[in-house]
Amino acid sequence: MTRFRRVAVTGFLPAVLALLVAVVLLGIVLRILGADPLTSLVALFDFGETPRAQANQMRSWVNGSVPLFLSGLAVSIGFRMGLFNIGVEGQYRIAGLVAAWFAATVALPAFLAIPVTIVVGMATGALYALIPAVLKVSRGVNEVITTIMLNSIVGGLIAYLLRGPFRDPALGDSASGRTAGVREEAWFPGFDNPFGWLGMDTPSRPLGGFLIVAVLVGVIVAVGLSRTRFGFNLRASGSNPEAAATSGVGASRMIVQAMLISGAIAGLVGLPQVLGDDHGYGAESFALGFGFSGIAVALLGRNHPLGIGLAAILFAFLNRSGPSLQNVNVPPSVVLIAQGVIVLSVVIVNEVLRRRLLRMEDRKAAADHPAPPQQGAPSGTAPAGASA
Amino acid sequence: MSARTAPSAPAATHAAALRSRRNRLLLLVGVGFVALSVTRVVSGEGVLTASGTINAMVWLTLPVALAGLGGLVCERAGVVNIGLEGMMMLGVWGAGFAGWRWGPVAALIAALIGGALGGLLHALATVTFGVDHIVSGVAINLLAAGAVRFLSEITFLPATGGGPTQSPPLSGSIPTFDIPVLASGPDLLGKVESTGLPVVGDLAGILRGLLVGITPFELLGVAMFPLTAYLLWRTALGLRLRSAGENPWAAESLGVDVVRMKYLAVVWGGALAGLGGLFLVMFTGSYREGMTNGRGYIGLAAMIFGNWRPGGLAAGASLFGYADAVRLRSQNSLAVLALFIFAAIIVIVLGILWLRRGRRLPGAIFIGIGVAFLLGYIGLDSLPNEVTTLTPYIVTLVVLTVSSQNLRMPKADGLVYRKGEGH
């Protein structure tokens, strides 16, 4: 019974409760701003009229959740040991560009093209994440500030690379920056008829196959965190740095390793688009902002791969509803507010429930092992608290 | 005899330490100024010390400095505030909206209110609910970004000259004045500046930039620094507020309402960040989405650089404001490239100081970096435009890396405080 309650309190209950709180808050906000909350809610579930439109909506939902999941996973690796890698945004952008350029210029045998390009992307993300790690370890510079500065620097760096060295030579001078097209052997394959077994129509374009990579990475991270020595050290450094350091886990080394892994996963975020959809990196077409939403996704998913997956699916669901909201005259940016409200409610509800649980356990412990009377333990209230 | 002198000895050394610190500061400012003058003469880039650049520097320093000051107030009360960026966004939006509708004074009030609302949310999450400070700050930044886009869509989109990411221009005009004789009329400083003499001409340019086109808003923004320093270090309220950041449990036992102090600090800090946003809007003439552009974070960096003190923070922020102003005012990248000489002189001087103290390794590294800067200046013809726009961020990174790490943050900074759960 108590075990069940503990799972409920630490597991799905906070997320569900927070979502409810967020929905109510959002309704109030929308009402104040003059929009109709119920119309907005209904519009969220509008997948279009024709079977083809519905299949397309499903496709953009699933496709949209993949980068969010990877980004949330990257952020969570840092969070797990108390590191704030706000730099996923910059890491995935530069990694996407370098991977696109690599896949466009380097000729590789067909069976190597995709894996090597993925490794290049991961290595770029990891290297870019290494800068804040080294600055933190060697000079004690706060990683929040360095990663944010590096995010800003990436914008200029990419603009420069797309004007100069990485630019498609066939482009005119006035065209917006773009790499050359990715070689065909590095195109990531997709699923042509993914929703057939649901009885749905086939979407206009195939569903991105990078979903498989994302799931694979999720499983590896989940197992790595819970079943390996490295994962244990990582979690130990996060929950009690002093104890971890005393037991021989080097803090500096853990910081560098965690940032490298986080950056490597961040390096994957842009690849579905670069290798699967656009077959290149365009300054205007490459989607931005996944790094920042990844922070929200990681918080909502409570830094657990499964939770991050669910959070990514929820966020992607909200993201794809922008046009349908516009149809009922609700500004699409409601989605951004919704995501912000959800995250804030989640962290607050988590904290409140965690405290309740701690108090419950204290009372239970007091009831199980009554303290000597002179210490004045409130044993009389304990059974009531435990059964509440 | 010795009994009488013994107690005063620490006080004497303290005074001496203060004096030596003041001397060192004066020396640093002097060296910086001479280095700047040398750089201007050697490179021939008049823009480096032109009054126009310095005037722009004030506008560009204030947002960073006020955000940093907001962060300082929060952290002195023990609340880390990564959400400054979001609070600044709310302030910027408020200033853009109220400035467009009702003019500059309304913009000022709305900027303060916008920032304070963000602060209130942060206080609610961190102080009342005990959420991790950085998590709450990040969430507020996300929320603020969504909120300003949403608000722009429902207010600016239908208006002429507005859009989902920008406001129509501000209405009304911002009153400005020049200091007579020195900067207008006979314009003595302007005459000296136009001679282009080394040191004297540069000094005149810098002074004139500070005395020309002054607005009451700038004065208000600058006044926040002495005011905040006075409130924090010279009043009972300030002592209570700082005690909440150093040892809230001890403060609590002495009857300080720590929760109220933290609320006060975070709301106040948010309002300061919002005020910083006002200057961005006034400088540009309208609200643009993303115009904060990381300045809330740069403000935090300036605060760390300044060791959680208003003076150091203002110096750090001026550095970023100056780099930003040079970048904006110069026609090409040559002026930014000329800053390499400036950086080289400063780093080499620091290196020599290290060597004289007998620290060979850091001294050699600093001098090496300085030589690299000089070689960079000689070797490069120009910098790519994209790189010059990154100047403030690169300066932030370099300054944080190079500057002294001998810092002291408030002792209970970032810790979650619960009333009555002291240890």
Task: Please check whether residue B25 lies inside any domain of the structure.
Answer: no
Task: Please check whether residue B1 lies inside any domain of the structure.
Answer: no
Q: How confident is residue B406, by pLDDT bands cut at 50, 70 and 90?
A: low
User: Which residues of B105-193 form beta strands (DSSP E)?
Assistant: none
CA distances from A161 to A87, A155, A179, A248, B334 (A): 19, 10, 9, 43, 20
Is residue B74 within 8 Å of residue B291, measured between CB atoms?
A: no
Task: Please check whether residue B403 lies inside any domain of the structure.
Answer: no
In this model, does residue A383 exceed pLDDT 60?
A: no
Task: Please check whether residue B375 lies inside any domain of the structure.
Answer: no
Chain A residues closer than 8 Å to B153 by CB:
331-333
**Per-residue pLDDT tens digits for B77-118:** 999 998 999 999 999 999 999 999 999 999 999 999 999 999
What CA–CA distance (Å, rounded) separates B377 from B379? 6
In this model, does residue A378 exceed pLDDT 70?
A: no
Contact check, Cβ <8 Å, A340/B139:
yes
CA distance to partner chain A, nearest, from residue B402 (Å): 8
Task: Please check whether residue B279 lies inside any domain of the structure.
Answer: yes
CA distance to partner chain A, nearest, from residue B247 (Å): 21
Q: How confident is residue B3, by pLDDT bands cut at 50, 70 and 90?
A: very low
What pLDDT, on the 0 to 100 scale, is given for residue A384?
38
Q: What is the CATH number of the domain that holds B301?
A: 1.10.3470
Chain A residues closer than 8 Å to B387 by CB:
156, 160
Tally of domains in chain B: 1
Closest CB to A347 among B136, B149, B294: B136
Task: Please check whether residue B17 lies inside any domain of the structure.
Answer: no
Instruction: Report which of residues A76 and A245 the model is more confident about.
Output: A76
Q: How confident is residue A74, by pLDDT bands cut at 50, 70 and 90?
A: very high
Q: How confident is residue B297, by pLDDT bands cut at 50, 70 and 90?
A: confident
Task: Please check whether residue B275 lies inside any domain of the structure.
Answer: yes
Among B173, B204, B183, smallest CA distance to B40 is for B204
Compute the mean pLDDT over every residue in chain B, rounded to the nearest whole number. 86
H, E, C per residue of A179-244? CCCCCHHHCCCEECCCCHHHCCCCCCCCEECHHHHHHHHHHHHHHHHHHCHHHHHHHHHHHCHHHH
Domains of chain A: 47-189+200-320 (1.10.3470)
Percent of chain B with pLDDT over 90: 35
Chain B residues closer than 8 Å to A33 by CB:
150, 154
Chain A residues closer than 8 Å to B365 by CB:
none
Contact check, Cβ <8 Å, B136/A140:
no
Contact check, Cβ <8 Å, B145/A336:
yes
In this model, does residue B6 exceed pLDDT 50?
A: no
In chain B, which residue's Cα lies nearest the Cα of A347?
A: B131
| Best B120, B132, B133, B150 residue to mutate vs chain A (most A CBs within 10 Å) | B150
In chain A, which residue's Cα lies nearest the Cα of B165?
A: A333
Chain B residues closer than 8 Å to A299 by CB:
135, 138-139
Q: How confident is residue A38, by pLDDT bands cut at 50, 70 and 90?
A: confident
What pLDDT, on the 0 to 100 scale, is given for residue A9?
53
Chain A residues closer than 8 Å to B293 by CB:
152
CA distance to partner chain A, nearest, from residue B156 (Å): 12
**Per-residue pLDDT tens digits for B137-157:** 988 988 899 889 888 988 888
pTM summary value: 0.85
What pLDDT, on the 0 to 100 scale, is given for residue A220?
95
Per-range mean pLDDT, top range of A131-135, A319-323, B386-390:
A131-135
Closest CB to B142 among A164, A333, A343: A343
What CA–CA distance (Å, rounded) separates B347 from B329? 25
**Per-residue pLDDT tens digits for B349-358:** 888 888 888 8
What CA–CA distance (Å, rounded) separates A100 from A282? 10
Closest CB to A146 among B153, B384, B397: B397
Task: Please check whether residue B342 lies inside any domain of the structure.
Answer: no
Chain A residues closer than 8 Å to B382 by CB:
none
Chain B residues closer than 8 Å to A26 by CB:
none
CA distance to partner chain A, nearest, from residue B327 (Å): 14
Mean pLDDT, residues A271-289: 90
Among A101, A141, A137, A138, smallest CA distance to A117 is for A101
**Per-residue pLDDT tens digits for B300-329:** 888 988 889 998 899 889 988 988 888 888
Chain centroid, CA B125 distance in Å:
26
Closest CB to B129 among A144, A157, A351: A351
Chain B residues closer than 8 Å to A296 by CB:
139, 142
**Per-residue pLDDT tens digits for A291-323:** 988 988 998 888 899 999 999 999 999 888 877
What pLDDT, on the 0 to 100 scale, is given for residue A377?
44
Per-range mean pLDDT, top range of A149-158, A240-249, B164-173, B388-397:
A149-158
What CA–CA distance (Å, rounded) separates A53 from A203? 8
Q: How confident is residue A269, by pLDDT bands cut at 50, 70 and 90?
A: very high
What is the identity of the amino acid at A326?
Answer: Q
Range of the domain at B93: 49-175+215-332+412-423
Is residue B258 within 8 Å of residue B66, measured between CB atoms?
A: no
Q: Does B421 touch chain A (CB under 8 A)?
A: no
Can you read off the two tokens belonging to residue A231?
């994962």
Q: Does B121 touch chain A (CB under 8 A)?
A: yes
In chain A, which residue's Cα lies nearest the Cα of B297?
A: A145
